[in-house]
Structure 1
Amino acid sequence: MLSAYVDRAGVYTDFFEVMLPGQANLDEFIAAFYTTWLFRLERAVLTLGLRRRISDSDVMALANGTAERFAAWEVESRAEAQLLLCDLSGRTRSYLAVAPKEGGVTRLLFGSAVVPREGAELGAVVRAILPLHRFYSKALLRLAERKMRWG
C-alpha cells in the first residue's frame, strides 16, 4: 500500500521494521502502537488541536476495523495484514503492517509518506524535521514491539 507513493516525484517515504518473537495480527499491532506512552503524548497534542478527546476505545475501533477515522487520519486502504492512513490534509500517510516469518516471528512494519502540494516540492521546514520524524517513527515502532512482547 505504501509502495504506491515510493516512486512519486517529490514524495518522501520511509519504512521501518522490527521482529517480534511469536505470532501477532494487525489488530494487536495497531492497538499496541497507538497506546504506547509516546503516542499517548501525541494523542494529547492532537486532542488539543482537534478539540476532541482521543480515547483507547477510538484506538480499538480502528484496530478492529469498525472505524474509518482515527484522530487526524482516515483509512485510505486496509487489508488483513496492513493499514494505510491518510491525514485530514491529504499530505501525509501512515502505514502499519504485520508479516509472519519462519520460526514463529512476526515482522512489524511502520512507514510514512509525505506528499507535497500538487506541482510543489517538500518545503524547507518539512525537510529539516525529517531526521526527527525518522527518530520518532523508529521509537514508536520499538515501543509498540516492546508493549506487544511484555504487555
Structure 2
Amino acid sequence: MLQHYRRQGAYADCFVAVLPRSVTQAQYVEAFYGSTLFRLERLLLALFVARPSTDLQARRLAAGELDAFAAWRVERRGPGQLLLADFTGRTRSWLMSTPSAPGEPPGTRLYFGSAVVPAPGRAGMGLPFRALLGFHKLYSRTLLRAAASRLARACPP
C-alpha cells in the first residue's frame, strides 16, 4: 500500500517482526496502538494537537468499526492491511500481518511502514526531514518491537 507513494517520490520504509504464533490483523493493530510507547505518543497528540484517543478507540479501529483514530484517518483497508493518513496529509502509517512463508516455522510476520510525502510544491523532503530520519527509523522499529512484545505477552504460543 505504500508503493503508490514511493512511486510519487515520497520517502517510504518498512520494518518487520516475526512472532512464533498466529496473530490476527485486529490483534496486531490493537497491540500497536495500545502499546505503552504509543500511548505516550497518543498523550502528546492529545496535549499538543488536541487529538485525544482511547484504548477502546484503538480496539474499534482494529475491528474495522472506526475510520478515524487520534491524528489519523483510514485511507485504505485490505486483507491483513491498514493504511492511515495523518491529519496534515503528509504522512502515512501502514500495518500488515501475514502468516509465515511456507518452509518457515509457523508464526506471523508483522510489518510496519510509513510514507512521508514532500510538502506541496517541493521536489524533495528537506533538511529537517533528513535530520530526523535516523530518529524516525529507530522510533518505527521500537514501536514495532513494542507491539510484538505486547502480543507475545498477551498470547504466548
Q: What TM-score range do you get, normalising by the shorter chain? A: over 0.9
Compute the TM-score of the two structures, normalised by the length of structure 1.
Answer: 0.95
Residue matched to 1:6: 6
Q: Choose from 120, 123, 127 the match for 2:126.
A: 123
Matched, 1:144 2:156: no
Unpaired segments of 5 or more residues in structure 1?
Answer: none
Q: How many residues align?
A: 150
- The AA in structure 1 aligned to 2:41 is E
**TM-score normalised per structure 2:** 0.91
Structure 1 runs of 4+ aligned residues shifted over 6 Å read none
Query: What pairs up with 1:1-151 in 2 under 5 angstroms?
Result: 1-9=1-9, 11-101=10-100, 102=102, 103-120=105-122, 121-151=124-154
Mapped partners of 1:106, 1:117: distance in 2? 36
Write the deviation string for residues 61-103 of structure 1: whole angstroms up to 9, x where unpaired: 1100010000000100001200000001110000000010143
Q: Is the 8 A contact 2:51 2:71 kept in 1?
A: no
Deviations, residues 113-151 of structure 1 (Å, cap 9, x unaligned): 000123302121111101000000000001111110112
Q: 1:25, 1:45 → 2: CA distance?
A: 28
Deviation at 1:52, TM superposition (A): 4.8
Q: State the percentage of identical aligned residues.
A: 43
Unpaired runs of at least 5, structure 2:
none
SS state at 1:34 partner: helix
Q: CA RMSD in A?
A: 1.1
